Amino acid sequence: MPGGPDRGAGAPSGAGRPDVSSPAAGWYPVPDGAGTAWWTGRAWSDGSQDRPAPSADSSTRPALAVSAEPSHLSDDDVTGAVNRPARAAFLLGIAALVVNPFLLTGIAGVVAACIGLQRASLMGQHGFAPVGRLQAVVGLCLAVLGTVVSVAFKNSMF
């Protein structure tokens, strides 16, 4: 995609050059006024949103808000469809069922699952498939189950 917040002038000022900050990741208006497009902070993604058609009373309604806030999504998360925290939660959940010393594996699995679910939610909010949601949920369930089993086992031992 051609790009930058201007979308017609290539990348935003500073993009592609090391040491120069580019505009924050966010939705930026398309020059033809047809909608918005997602800028990852380094490049344009394929995601876009259509702007609603103006109504008769558009003078009293606020304009479409375009969020330029950072979303904590890296280019890999958006373009590569990878949710590493969700994958880590799944693996930690399995490990929590097998080995859970001092409950650390279970706690790490719960934390990774929460981060993975948040990342999947952000992807969904920005027009992409919420990759890793199922992995994060299963990882969360396994981590909690592993922690409960570990606590029950340790309580029965003492």
Is the model's pLDDT at 90 over the cut of 90? yes
Residues 49, 54, 57, 60, CA torsion sign: positive
What's the DSSP call for residue 59? T
User: Phi and psi at residue 70, in whole multiples of 5°?
Assistant: -65, 145
The answer to whether the CB of 146 falls within 8 A of the CB of 93 is: yes
Residue 5: pLDDT band by 50, 70, 90 thresholds? low
> Which range is least confidently modeled, 61-75, 79-93, 103-117?
61-75
pLDDT reported for residue 133: 94
pLDDT class of 33 with cuts at 50, 70, 90: low
What mean pLDDT is predicted for residues 71-89?
71
> Is residue 158's pLDDT more than 70?
yes
What's the token pair of residue 34?
Answer: 């047809």
Q: Among all chains, which residue has been given the structure tokens 């935003």?
A: 12
Residue range 128-153, pLDDT digits in tens: 888 899 999 999 999 999 999 999 98
Instruction: Please give the Cα distance from 158 to 22 (Å, whole number).
Output: 58
* Position with higher pLDDT, 58 vs 157: 157
- Residues 75 and 43: beta-carbon distance below 8 Å: yes
Per-residue confidence (pLDDT) for residue 17, from 0 to 100? 45
What's the half-sphere exposure (Cβ side, CA atoms, 13 Å) at 154?
11
Share of the chain above pLDDT 90, in %: 32
String of DSSP letters for 13-54: TTTTSTTSPPPPSEEEE-TTSSEEEEE-SSSEEEEEEEPPPP
